[in-house]
Amino acid sequence: MTDYLLQLINVALVLAVSPALVGLIRWLKARMQNRRGAPIWQPYFELRKLFGKEVVVSDTASWVFRATPYIVFASTLAVALLVPLVRIPVPVALGSDLIVVVYLLLLGTFFLALAGLDTGSPFGGMGSSREMTVAALAEPTIALAIFSLAVGAGSTDLGRIVAETLNAPTTVAAPGHLLGFAALFIVMLAETGRLPVDNPSTHLELTMIHEAMILEYSGRYLALIEWASGMKLFIFLSLLANLYVPWGIATSNDPAGLAVGLLALLGKVVVLGCAIAALETRLAKLRLFRVPELLSVSFVLALLAVTSSFVVR
């Protein structure tokens, strides 16, 4: 029972911390760009503002448009429940399975793309078509990159994978491990709409990918979607941290261990957040048709990761 309660705390953690992560990356970027930047808790104010605003829905929108924010939010929360964040093992009955996680994430993307098409606005359609181009290449890479770890661990259970890495620390330097990390990092940039694939801070409607899909949303719908994007970013960074550098994660329900696990997780996520901010300051956006090339590279990296996992084993 405690196990399940603790796993629920995971969810609360993701809900509570993810806006700060978004705020932190924005603030760091601003500092690196010679600007003062908004405080890191600015996204909380934005969420509160959006929840207080009325929702404007186009006359042509169907139920898909209204349901999508909830589906996206709920599926992201479900992922938060399933992945190992502060402690392992994840209770088996929840099914912390790699394939479940990947497809729950895809569910949100799928509905966002539908909602983009739903209103019939040209920007929504444009965003959806671009998002699908990216997703079609990104999703298999995520699965493949994590498979390379699963091969080593002999299980697709994320908790087990983390535990195996903890047991055999030398595997961290294995080629499969490093290649997989690189592949997943690139895909993370694409999936969470960061540079060089998408520009989260642009105002140019014609260049947008993720933002173009959600251009029609307002009020609490927008708040839910923004919050879910923040959570998705947090989950991706935690996965990268825990799958590849698992140290610090709690292995029992001992309060001290849990506290260490929490601090370790936050520390690792902040480090990755800084990496993203630094990267986004250095990089320009790729020409849209170059994005598939980048994603193919990450797919090949993931494929090599799997192959080398087999070979090395």
List of residues contacting another protein (CB under 8 A) = 29, 32-35, 122-123, 126, 195-196, 199, 201-207, 215, 281-290
Give least dist CB 313 to another protein, A: 37
> Of 157 and 191, which CB lies nearer to another protein in the complex structure?
191
Reference 98, options 141, 137, 69, 136; nearest CA is: 141
Sign of CA dihedral 213, 199, 33, 270: positive
Q: Least Å distance between CB 288 and another protein?
A: 5
Please report how close the Cβ of residue 59 comes to another protein at its closest, in angstroms. Answer: 16
CB of 108 to another protein, least distance (A): 23
Closer CB to another protein, 173 or 203, in the complex: 203
Alpha-carbon radius of gyration of the chain = 19
63 vs 289, which CB is nearer to another protein?
Answer: 289
User: Rounded distance, CA 26 to CA 199, Å?
Assistant: 12
In angstroms, the CA 200 to CA 232 distance is 14
**CA dihedral sign of residues 59, 60, 61, 63:** positive
Residue type, 118: D
The owner of tokens 């609490």 is 220
Nearer to another protein, 113 or 195 (CB): 195
Using the minimum distance from each CB to another protein, give the nearer residue, 29 or 268. 29
Q: Cα torsion for 181, 183, 186, 190, to the nearest 10°?
A: -120
Among the listed residues 103, 126, 154, 137, the one whose alpha carbon sits nearest the alpha carbon of residue 295: 137
| Residues 175/308, Cβ–Cβ less than 8 Å | yes
Q: Which is nearer to another protein, 218 or 307 (CB)?
A: 218
* The two three-digit tokens of residue 15, written as one number: 């809900």
Minimum distance, C-beta of residue 122 to another protein, in the bound complex (Å): 5
Residue 127 CB, shortest distance to another protein, in Å, is 11
